[in-house]
Chain A
Amino acid sequence: MTAVRSRKSKSAKNAANAALTIILPVALGVLIVALWQGGVLQKLFGTDDYVLPEPTRIFSIFQDNSSAVWANIKITTSVAMLGLLFGSLLGYAAAVLGALKPGIGAGALAVVGAFASVPLVALAPVMNNLTRDVSRVAETRSFVAKILVVMLIAAADMGLNAYRGLTELPPYAVDLMKTYAASSKTVFLKLRLPNSVPYIFTALKVSVPASIMTAIVSEYFAEFNGGVGRQIRENILLAQYSTAWVYIMAACGIGVGTYVILMIVRSIIARKFHM
């Protein structure tokens, strides 16, 4: 009897706990928005509602300029996603090569790892210079330059993780394949490739937000005046803070949106392949 009661109270406790997990952060969010709208946040940061306009004002500016905002969102998102795609493919290919020729591969990974800690601001202008002759249209030139920067960042993330996925196999797995007299190609297709799939998502979890950040930073340096990041900067230079905030919100939206999409894709693939 006592056992049953304690079980019941335990499950009630769990339910309350689960509810708190949702209620607490939502309450905090509502509180912050309320303070912001009410002007308390502005006082707290020692600023005014010109530099930090209230949420309703940001939203109304967004509605007024929605077509321009969407166009810039499209630029940034396509730079980030194309760079991510090419970079990830490049990184994975490099990891495969590294896994096939481990002696040379180890060195390549050390070099790629070092590149990952090169500050973005050093890469972006170099890419701008390198792509000066890609096209006569500034928009296209900048587009390619930005994609190249994102590519490098995404390739480093994917390369390092995929290499681990291709080489850190379950114990004795290679030995087992050897007992079947499997060729290197079979070992690769049946063992290394599937083993690397979760690592691909580990890389993407990092590189999806990083690609967007990289796209935004390279927009700061780009020749062409487009993209969410550039708009944030330009509007602040023009002291149009409300518009700048619209673009900041857009940047946040892109970050969260792409991550949610990644998680959905991951869960679909995980279900399909029993990952």
Chain B
Amino acid sequence: MKKSIFEKKWVSVLFWIVLLIIAWEIGAFIVAATKRTPANILPHLTNIIAAAFSTKQVAGKLTASEVVFTSAGATLFRALVGFVLGAVVGYVLALLMKLSGIVEKLIFPYLMLIQLIPVIGLAPIILSITGDINISRVIISAILSFFPVATNVLEGMKAVPKDNYDLMYTYAAPKWMIFSKVLIPSSKPYLFTGLKTGAPMAITASILVDTLQGDGGLGCMLSQSLKHAMNIYVFWLIVFFCAIIGILSTYVIGWIELAVTPSLRVERRTSRPGRPKKNKKALIEKNGGMNNDSSQIQKV
């Protein structure tokens, strides 16, 4: 039963991916027939894949894929450092705000305000202030991943029901135990939500900082290849590479969450729609299938 449902979703996802690929290819054929430089606008996917595996040297002694991977190292490593740094600072700040009303009052309005500000606009200024591209990558990535973590964790801690505090109160539990046994574990799903939002932003930030200066990194290669200083397929490879890394980053965080949350694993295993497939299908046909989620909501 479980398998068939998994397959169903899987099939549906595949359906859309295939549809996108077909649309892309149709577009590529049209572009190829009408434009002078189709590779700049919309090349065939096969050409992009071929470029990935080609042994032709495009820059110095490096093939296109080697260019992508070597420059990805610098960019992604800084993004990761910034991401971890931002997440830690965001988490600590959320804890402090929960711990002290004064800290919360002092900082919370700014936390909300800075979320509305396009921080990425600050990237060039931070590069000018620090004068170092690596430090700038780390700082911008950290700032961008800091906010989703801080706000989500704080929200998670505020969402703890009063009952839970009452329970700990009847045990005369000290304050640190309320943190370690109630607040920290119950805000864990919110932490991961924040991390999932923050990771692609950290990567975006790091790549963006690359474009500001000419010494290496994915963003730098991206601009160079756009300006035809390098094979245009390097550009397409980087675009796909970024997309895959961005998507992968949220999946990896999801896997980590699953690995450190046994209750979530059990929940996934047992409460995945145990409804017979036939029944579900009948429901779909009768009323657009939109109510088969309602029973689950009720349970929660």
B115-132: which have CB < 8 Å to A? 115-122, 124-125, 127-129
In the complex, are the beta carbons of B13 and A111 less than 8 A apart? Answer: yes
Q: B45 an interface residue at 8 Å Cβ cutoff?
A: no
Mark each residue of chain B from 250 to 288: 1 if its CB lies under 8 Å from any CB of chain A, else 0.
100000000000000000000000000000000010011
In the complex, are the beta carbons of A126 and B13 less than 8 A apart? Answer: no
Chain A residues near B16: list those with CB within 8 A: 104, 107-108, 110-111
Chain B: which residue is nearest A45 at the CB level? B129
Q: Which stretch of B59-67, B80-88, B157-165, B241-249 is in the interface?
A: B241-249
* Dominant secondary structure at the B interface: helix
Q: A28 an interface residue at 8 Å Cβ cutoff?
A: yes
Chain A residues near B127: list those with CB within 8 A: 236
* Dominant secondary structure at the A interface: helix
Chain A: which residue is nearest B108 at the CB level? A25
In the complex, are the beta carbons of A117 and B249 less than 8 A apart? Answer: yes
B: number of interface residues (CB 8 Å): 71
Mark each residue of chain B from 209 to 222: 1 if its CB lies under 8 Å from any CB of chain A, else 0.
00110000001001
Docked CA distance A106–B245 (Å):
23
Docked CA distance A107–B13 (Å):
4
In the complex, are the beta carbons of A117 and B118 less than 8 A apart? Answer: no
A169-B290, A209-B115 known; A119 vs B242 contact (CB < 8 Å): yes
A: number of interface residues (CB 8 Å): 76
From A119, A129, A166, B41 is in contact (CB under 8 Å) with: A129
A107-B14, A121-B208, A122-B239 known; A102 vs B113 contact (CB < 8 Å): no
B6-28: which have CB < 8 Å to A? 8-9, 11-17, 20
> Nearest-CB distance from B28 to chain A (Å)?
11
A99-B290, A117-B246 known; A130 vs B41 contact (CB < 8 Å): yes
In the complex, are the beta carbons of B287 and A110 less than 8 A apart? Answer: no
> Nearest-CB distance from A147 to chain B (Å)?
17
